Amino acid sequence: MSESISKRSAKKKAFTLVELLIVIIIVGILAGMMLLSAGSATDSAKAARIISDLRNMKAAALLYWSDNGSWPIWYYDKGSSTYKAIPPASPGPENYSDLTTMGDGYWVGAMRASGDHSLAFSVADLQELSNGVKKSIEKQAEKTGLYGDTFTGMPYLPDMDNLQKFNADQHNMLLSVINK
């Protein structure tokens, strides 16, 4: 009789296949939820970095203006993988900032409107970024005073009188007005 009791207790100590499958399914669901939130956090962090880089380029342009009495034209040249200044003999952003390399799928520059030398803006080219990052920027655009535009080629000249708040579905350029 004691032998049958020990067989029963041995069977009771093990998990059934159904119980193990339920645990595996629950762990899989939780892992999937964590991956979704981690992707969102990554997009938000990248958006914050782009906005910070845009502000740093704005500060560099203000330093350039205080030294030279005019606004710079700085843009990233993918062909040479370096920042260019117009005119070529003028100081580039490397003299005023450490933002001299392309970011992870974006570049940041500073420019003046060619017709009116009193208008200036810092700009970020977001053409290669994912829609998730652009949506994160859009959420922050209203409170940080960021505008959007569509890139039409170089020289890049947005309509400074009709700037719109950044919209991830419509714009691929992010603008911050330096002086208007």
**Is residue 4 included in any domain, yes or no?**
no
**Where in the sequence is the domain holding 118, given as residue range(s)?**
42-179
The sheet that has 147-149: what strands, in order across it? 82-85, 74-77, 107-112, 120-125, 173-179, 147-149, 164-165
Which residues partner with 153 through β-bridges? none
51: Cβ contacts below 8 Å, ≥ 6 apart: 137, 140, 144, 146
Query: How do residues 88-135 score in pLDDT, each as one tens digit?
Result: 888 888 888 877 677 778 888 888 876 666 788 888 888 888 888 888
Residue 68 forms part of a structural domain: yes
Is residue 31 in a domain?
no
Residue 69 located in a structural domain: yes
Amino acid, single-letter form, for residue 170: Q
pTM confidence score:
0.71
Residue 46 covered by a domain: yes
Neighbours of 111 (CB within 10 A): 25
Q: Is residue 98 part of a domain?
A: yes
The reply to whether 61 falls in a domain is: yes
In angstroms, the first-to-last Cα distance of the chain is 95
Number of domains in the chain: 1
Q: Six-digit token pair at 152?
A: 């039409």
Alpha carbon 18 to its chain centroid, in Å, reads: 45
- Give 34-68 pLDDT, tens digit per residue: 777 666 778 888 888 888 888 888 888 899 888 88
For residue 97, which phi and psi values (nearest 5 degrees)?
-155, 160
Domain membership flag for residue 171: yes
